[in-house]
Amino acid sequence: MLLHALIPASRANGPGLRAVVFFQGCSVGCVGCWNSRTHPFHGAEVPVDVVAQDLVRAQAQHTLEGVTFSGGEPMQQADSLLRLIQGLHQQAPELSFGMFSGYAEHELAKGRYWTWGDGSSEQHRRRLWQEIRACLDFAVVGRFNQAQPGSQPLRTTRNQVLRLFSHRYTPADFSEELTEVSIKEGGRAEVTGFPTRGLPW
């Protein structure tokens, strides 16, 4: 899979303490996207099982509640995403799973999304979404639309929808939007969460 970044522990990307996997690559093209460095489909290609091992290590180190998939566009690497979720579910069944996707749910359900590098059929993509959806506890779906700014939990624009696919969470489990800044060794700052006026996005 093409990986942009992995944050081992975050409180800004869903309920509780979660690892965040940022897929590299997105062709959806939302105007004003604040994460354009994740758009090109090139960079670090990492085996799915290596990413899974890193996440299991992070889970042991931080007692994570779950993993959130972001990007980039996770559904444009749907095969890898499904294999990653299935591998994690086997190794750490207590983890919950969430996802941010720029696609609307009806596009995903009809297989009307593009996938990187495989030329898969609509039927295959429909089945992939059904399998991924069955594993997810929540997803935020829909384009970033800068004409409709919003501030509901995990949603930057009002058209985006928070979907709960299991009984694990209720809407009350999703806190207000947070911006998280981690200072790494060597002083490098890593910013995740949601754009706030005045921050350098």
CA separation, residue 125 to residues 84, 113, 190 (Å): 16, 8, 33
Could you identify the residue written with the tokens 């085996």? 47
Q: Can residue 137 be called a binding residue for ligand SF4 (CB under 6 A)?
A: no
Q: Can residue 71 be called a binding residue for ligand SF4 (CB under 6 A)?
A: yes
User: Site for ligand SF4 (CB under 6 A): which residue of 14, 68, 73, 132?
Assistant: 73
Q: Can residue 25 be called a binding residue for ligand SF4 (CB under 6 A)?
A: no
Sign of the CA dihedral running 99, 105, 108, 113: negative
Q: Can residue 29 be called a binding residue for ligand SF4 (CB under 6 A)?
A: yes
Q: What CA–CA distance (Å, rounded) separates 81 from 24? A: 12
Q: Which is nearer to ligand SF4, 66 or 72 (CB)?
A: 72
Q: Which is nearer to ligand SF4, 147 or 172 (CB)?
A: 147
Query: Cβ-closest residue to ligand SF4?
Result: 102
Tell me which residues in 157-196 interact with ligand SF4 (CB under 6 A): none
- End-to-end CA distance of the chain: give it in Å, rounded: 26
CA separation, residue 164 to residues 84, 120, 152 (Å): 20, 27, 15
Alpha-carbon Rg for the chain in angstroms: 16
Q: Can residue 26 be called a binding residue for ligand SF4 (CB under 6 A)?
A: yes
CB of 27 to ligand SF4, least distance (A): 8
Q: What CA–CA distance (Å, rounded) separates 174 from 75? A: 22
Q: Can residue 145 be called a binding residue for ligand SF4 (CB under 6 A)?
A: no
Which residues in this chain contact ligand SF4 in the complex, by CB under 6 A?
26, 28-30, 33, 35, 38, 71-73, 102, 143-144
